Structure 1
Amino acid sequence: MTLRVDWRASVALTGTVIKYLALTLLVPLVVAIIYQEEMLVFVATIALTVAIGHALEQFDPEPDLRPREAMLLVALSWFTVALIGAIPYVLAGYGTTSTLAHPVNALFESMSGFTTTGATVMGEISVEQHSHALMMWRQLTQWLGGMGIIVLMIAILPELAVNGSQLIRAEAPGPELQKLTPKIAETARILWLVYFGFTIVLIGLLYGLHLVGLAPNMDFYNAVAHGFTTLPTGGFSPEANSVAAFSAAVQWVIIPFMMVAGTNFALFWYVLRGEPRRFIQNTEFRAYAGAIAVMTALLGALLYSGAAPALGALGGTTEGASESALRHAAFQIVSLLNSTGYATSDFAQWDGTSQVVLLTAMFIGGSAGSTGGGIKIIRWLVVFKVARRELFTAAHPTAVKPIRLGGYVVDEDVIRAVLSFSLLYLLIFAAATVFIVIDSARIGYSLTPLEAISASIATIGNIGPGFGSLGPFGSYLEFPISSKLVMIFLMWIGRLEIIPALVLFTGAFWKR
């Protein structure tokens, strides 16, 4: 069989991406120097990364990137980067009792980081059990994966900018690409600059709270660590209790930045250009903000009425209960709706009604063009409008009723792609849930139906925490190796929006 895909070109450019990844490893190396920790882990990883990247580049010294090669490059890059990212975990855990010494556990943690999932297999998550440098690498992987590794490469590498539109289309979350400028490389730079700017502002605000005494344990290290994982909707924290380890002031500051992270970043560019009306008029943003408001009000009412006794003081007349109920409700809804995965309370201990509200939020997702995971708001809008059209045409068979969003007619090809994605997403989610239940039972690991459902949706939706033992302060450590491998696969295809990854497993992609 003659291959239609020049895989050597894709492998060579994957090598280039990996080689540049070595530069990012300088960040944890500097942290290791500051805290006088083991530097050899990151020196060795940098050397290995450069060597592997250089070796892969030799497959094709002058790669020609066409549409299929671009799709293969994106899929290969994301998986290979996760493999490289696991090296520091394995090296740091070698010869110790660390759970990350096992290669599958290390790959799980790395894939969860780069795909901004936030699920963890760490038994104990804090700088007391792991070095500051290793924990900062864990945080940094999410920041790199948030806006997209390939988008970053397009912004700085001219050889990738030639086919940048195809690369971003395969990597960026959402059903469509929105070019902000005629040159795609310039668009990539704008997106990364907006992303970087919000990160710096959040770090400054968090550390500012520490300086004025409103957040005693939010030192500069923690401010940077949480800045790195809020904007990418990642959810990793160097603290075992996530954001619950910090004051209410910290939690209120993080909430709007999580909302920002789930918003289409292109809208902020329009605001900077003096076009704020495009922000307010955006149909998807209005639906996103509306979903947050309605679900926050519902969950807040449940918490205030005492339906979630795990929160203790939220019992109606208790002083401060209304603020606490609103804060916990707003934080958890925003965090799970756009797939951040932070937590201010162990919602795995809440009552069933409150957990159902949170589970519903997990299925919604952020906006297209954001760093949020899930199905995405815009796809749900299209699905609902298609359903309404079908009901209308059932009563009026001869009617022609186009689907409109924001005053524009949605192309039927886009509608078909949205419906195909949604169906595949739900089918894979259901199949993975069944597999996880059967595989866990095989080794005697007991899972409730809600835990199994949440494990599946949390990994394919890049959300992170689930319910029960998989709650925000829990871990995926006890799952069998085979289930972890499946969840690694789910995180990978979930970040790439399923189809650009699954198409590689079809004969039609490779044949002439």
Structure 2
Amino acid sequence: MNYSIIIYIIGMILKIEAVFMALPAITALIYQETSGVAFLITIALCLVIGLPLTRKKPTRKAFYTKEGFVTVALSWIVLSIIGAIPFVISRSIPNPVDALFETVSGFTTTGASILSDVETLPHCMLMWRSFTHWIGGMGVLVFILSLLPLTGGYHMNLMKAESPGPSVSKLAPKVQSTAKILYSIYFVMTVIQILLLLVGGMPLFDSICTAFGTAGTGGFGIKNDSMASYSTYLQVVITVFMILFGVNFNAYFFIITKKFAQAFKMEEVRYYFGIIGIAILIIACNIYHIFGSAAKAFQQAAFQVGSIITTTGYATTDFNTWPEISRTILVLLMFIGACAGSTGGGIKVSRILILCKTVRKELHIFLHPNAVKKIKMDGKAIPHEVVRSTNIFFIVYMLIFASSIFLIAFDDFNLITNFTAVAATFNNIGPGLELVGPTGNFGMFSWFSKLILTFDMLAGRLEIFPLLILFVRDTWKKF
């Protein structure tokens, strides 16, 4: 294990988090809020710890997959712990476990909250909550790769460990260039959404926070009713951008470089939009009697389908009261999630496709034992390692999911609440059903259950393995 380089990168994470905290600190200055002092204290803490850790550059450049996974996992844990400190210092969320839950929910773009009245929070705290979504959406280490000229050939191991999906590919010859491309697309799309929200009459502060939550597919609202009080135009803009941020960013790169054939050839993206379209139509028909208008039912169905499949978690209505068919579809969409290479969570459409194609291949082999059949995606054969890792991912996913439901059951809430609470946190969605529905929150869980759900949020965002590898004894051996 190359500890020196891991410590160096964690030091950089702390320094960058100090820079990120300047935004809520400036917000506090604008609104003349004393809570901004909490950010200044935390910034000082980040620099006191981070500067010594990065004073000496590591001499050993060996940085393999193991180091990449450990670095990503530890970086996100440190990022979350430090990010929770302003909530505790300002007494906005005085309980450290609650503050950690809220912060992890922000960075992992989950959007699950323990707060029952977010409108009482100062503007600087609301900005920080929403900004954590934007930071975590693309990944803080991807941000580091886009800015810093790291050398030694270990960029890809960091990107593989942090980027969502069964496999990661470079958009440019250099990983640093790929990171810059990704963040450029991410930034431009965020700015466009802010401008469109402003055109619709949304205040600047609301527009920035909402765009941060949409871009990161996070879902922290700054109002108690989430998005319900905003106009239909604003809800439509948010719907469109939630769905767009759930698309594999490779597709945008192909479109920008005028490789339209490659963009439309992406099988995952086609299925992603197909699933969204079918779900919207079924739910719109199912809830027509509630709204009494086909257009309103379609718009509400589109918002909630877009919010759930992209794991954003915004809400315009209490879908917990919808008919069972609609609720069932929304729960299924929680598991499917968005595309790989997007800011969305869930299992990912690409993994679902690979699993389905694997089943079809096995059935074909049963009928034709001597046949040689390869699993293909976008017309290309999928490497065996990707298929194997997808199968293992799903097995571990189910084990963690089942274990989490069992462990939080000791709080004695009903099964639907527990099941959807784990689904909402593990898939980085936010709201579930029953007590954790759009009008509820996670505050009623015990500190133990909150820590279990916090682990689920981190595991879900980091695609499980980077977090699990911390608990393997051989990880910490020096070779």
By how many angstroms is 1:84 displaced? Answer: 0.8
Cα 1:138–1:412 change in 2 (3 A) is same
Distance 1:490 1:33 in 2: 35
| 2:283 pairs with 1:299 | yes
Match of 1:85 in 2: 83
| Aligned partner of residue 307 in structure 2, secondary structure | helix
Aligned partners of 2:424 and 2:431 also within 8 Å? yes
**CA–CA distance in structure 1, aligned partners of residues 203 and 194 of structure 2:** 10
- 1:383 maps to what in 2? 355
Question: 2:445 matched to which residue of 1?
Answer: 479
Q: Answer yes or no: is 1:37 the counterpart of 2:33.
A: yes
- Counterpart CA distance in 2 for 1:414 and 1:507 is 25
Contact preservation (8 Å) 2:246, 2:344: yes
* Cα distance in structure 2, aligned partners of 1:172 and 1:225: 23
TM-score (norm 2): 0.97
Any gaps of 5 or more consecutive residues in structure 1?
211-217, 307-311, 316-320, 442-446
- Partner residue, 2:471: 505
SS at match of 1:497: coil
Query: Does structure 1 residue 492 correspond to structure 2 residue 458?
Result: yes
For residues 41 and 507 of structure 1, the distance between their equivalents in structure 2, rounded to whole angstroms, comes to 37
Aligned 1:276-315 pairs, distance under 5 A: 276-304=260-288, 306=289, 312=290, 314-315=291-292
Aligned residue in 1 for 2:244: 260
Q: In 2, distance between residues paired with 1:398 and 1:299?
A: 44
Q: TM-score, normalised by structure 1?
A: 0.90
1:175 maps to which of 166, 173, 180: 166
Give the 3 Å change call, closer, same or farther, for CA 466–478 of structure 1 in structure 2: same
Cα shift readout 1:222-259 (whole Å, capped 9, x = no counterpart): 00110111011011111111111211111111111111
CA RMSD of aligned residues (A): 1.5
- Which residue number in structure 1 is paired with residue 303 of structure 2? 331
* Aligned positions of 1:144-293 closer than 5 A: 144-159=135-150, 162-210=153-201, 218-293=202-277
Q: Which residue of 1 aligns with 2:7?
A: 11
Instruction: Give deviations 1:424-477, integer Å, cap 9, x for gaps.
Output: 112211111111112x12xxxxx2211111111111111111111211231100
CA distance in 2, matches of 1:44, 1:56: 19
Deviations 1:11-39 (A, max 9, x none): 23201111121111111111111111113
How far residue 60 of structure 1 moved from its aligned partner, in angstroms, is: 6.8
Give the residue type in structure 1 aligned to 2:196.
L
Q: Which among 392, 403, 406 is matched to residue 364 of structure 2?
A: 392
**Distance in 1 between residues matched to 2:451 and 2:226, nearest whole Å:** 25
In structure 2, give the amino acid aligned to 1:174.
Answer: G
Q: Separation in 1 of the partners of 2:53 and 2:437?
A: 40
Per-residue deviation at 1:160? Answer: 6.3
Of 61-70 and 272-281, deviating more is 61-70
- Matched with 2:337 is 365
Q: Does the 8 Å CA contact 1:9/1:59 hold for their aligned counterparts?
A: no
**What's 1:214 paired with?**
none
- Name the CA shift for 1:123/1:406 in 2 (closer, same or farther; >3 Å): same
Could you tell me whether the CA contact under 8 Å between 1:119 and 1:476 is conserved in 2?
A: yes
1:66 aligns with 63
User: What's the CA shift string for 1:36-87, capped at 9, x where partnerless?
Assistant: 1113112111111111212444687546351122221111101100011101
Q: Name the CA distance, whole Å, in 1 between partners of 2:338 and 2:316.
A: 20
Aligned to 1:26: 22
Q: Which residue of 2 aligns with 1:117?
A: 110
Higher mean C-alpha deviation, range 194-203 or range 462-471: 462-471
Q: Which residue among 99, 104, 110 is the counterpart of 2:97?
A: 104
Count of aligned positions: 476
Q: Distance in 2 between matches of 1:399 and 1:406?
A: 22
1:65/1:241 Cα in 2 relative to 1: closer, same or farther (>3 Å)? farther
Decide whether the 8 Å contact of 1:338 with 1:364 is kept in 2.
no
Q: CA–CA distance in 2 between the matches of 1:294 and 1:44? A: 50
Asked whether the 8 Å contact 2:69–2:469 carries over to 1, the reply is no
Aligned to 2:427: 461
Q: CA deviation at 1:323?
A: 1.1
Cα distance between partner residues in 1 of 2:4 and 2:452: 27
Alignment-mate amino acid for residue 83 of structure 1: I
Question: Are the equivalent residues in 2 in contact too, given 1:8–1:59 (CA < 8 A)?
Answer: no
> Do 1:154 and 1:161's aligned partners in 2 also have CA atoms closer than 8 Å?
no
- Report deviation, 1:277: 2.2
The Cα shift of 1:167 comes to 0.3
